Amino acid sequence: QIQLVQSGPELKKPGESVKISCKASGYTFTDYAMHWVKQAPGKGLKWMGWINTYTGKPTYADDFKGRFVFSLEASASTANLQISNLKNEDTATYFCARETGSSDWFAYWGQGTLVTVSS
Amino acid sequence: DIQMTQSPASLSASLGETVTIECRASEDIYNGLAWYQQKPGKSPQLLIYNANSLHTGVPSRFSGSGSGTQYSLKINSLQSEDVASYFCQQYYDYPYTFGAGTKLELK
């Protein structure tokens, strides 16, 4: 069965960096793009962008250009999200979500990774 | 960016009742709309895609409708396990955007 398993919660200080992983299984990793979604505590969902898992090319929503980097370890069927120079407002749960192949509704989600930024 | 205005923000209903949640897009999204259910501490679960297609395994009491800029999610015969937050998402154009969510509680 298709699974997306994310890395565990992180506690970081402002200015530090964090890397979140999303390991896929149950399908051919390079056949489907991976998207990232942010959810601040008690808030709604915000689409961050996506990465083409075949070419490695990332596309970022405007609010996530600069400090956010999507990357791949294709041999390990893993997508990564790295956030640098962390700010308090980066405190959130980050989800990876897989596209369906025909369009970008998300039938498969990771369990989410909580990143807490606090001094 | 396409703005998704979701209403109501919260909803209280009784078991067995029918509830409707609405999303209005700031421009025509040509049925590029999905609905998700999210329970506390869990990831969103897909309910509806292409505005009115029921995702595999989702109970038939959930249905989606609409076109153009106006879309709705209907839950017939509300069950206790339907207590959750619900979000719409447009995937017609980048950046993909979500509604602010509707928190559904039991009366």
Mark yes or no for CB contact B99/A44 under 8 Å: yes
Within chain A, residue ranges assigned H as helices are none
Asked if B46 reaches chain A (Cβ–Cβ under 8 Å), the answer is: yes
What confidence tier does A102 reach under pLDDT thresholds 50, 70, 90? confident
Name residues whose C-beta falls within 8 Å of residue B10's C-beta, 6 or more positions apart in sequence: B102, B103, B104, B105
DSSP helix/strand/coil, B57? coil
Asked if A44 reaches chain B (Cβ–Cβ under 8 Å), the answer is: yes
Q: What is the pLDDT of residue B9?
A: 97
Facing residue for B34 by CB, picked from A61, A105, A110: A105
DSSP B92-107: SSSSPEE---EEEEE-
Name residues whose C-beta falls within 8 Å of residue B93's C-beta, 6 or more positions apart in sequence: B2, B29, B32
How many Cα atoms occupy the beta-carbon half-sphere of B59 within 13 Å? 11
- Measured over the CA atoms of residue B56, residue B61, residue B62 and residue B63, the dihedral's sign is positive
Average pLDDT over residues B81-93: 97
Angle, CA A71 vertex, CA A68 and CA A75 arms, to 5°: 165
What would the pLDDT profile of B5-45 be if each residue is shown by its tens digit? 999 999 999 999 999 999 999 999 999 999 999 999 999 99
- Residue A55, token pair as written in the block: 């070419």
What would the pLDDT profile of A10-40 be if each residue is shown by its tens digit? 999 999 999 999 999 999 999 999 999 999 9
Asked if A1 reaches chain B (Cβ–Cβ under 8 Å), the answer is: no
- Are A95 and B43 a contacting pair, CB within 8 Å? yes
Helix (DSSP H) and strand (DSSP E) numbers for chain A: 0, 11
Chain B residues inside the 8 Å CB shell of A49: 95
- For B48, list phi and psi in degrees, rounded to 5: -135, 140
Q: What is the pLDDT of residue A5?
A: 98
A59 vs A39: CA distance, rounded Å: 19
Asked if A104 reaches chain B (Cβ–Cβ under 8 Å), the answer is: yes
Scanning the structure block, which residue is given the tokens 């206790």?
A: B80
Q: Which residue of A has its CA nearest to B58?
A: A107
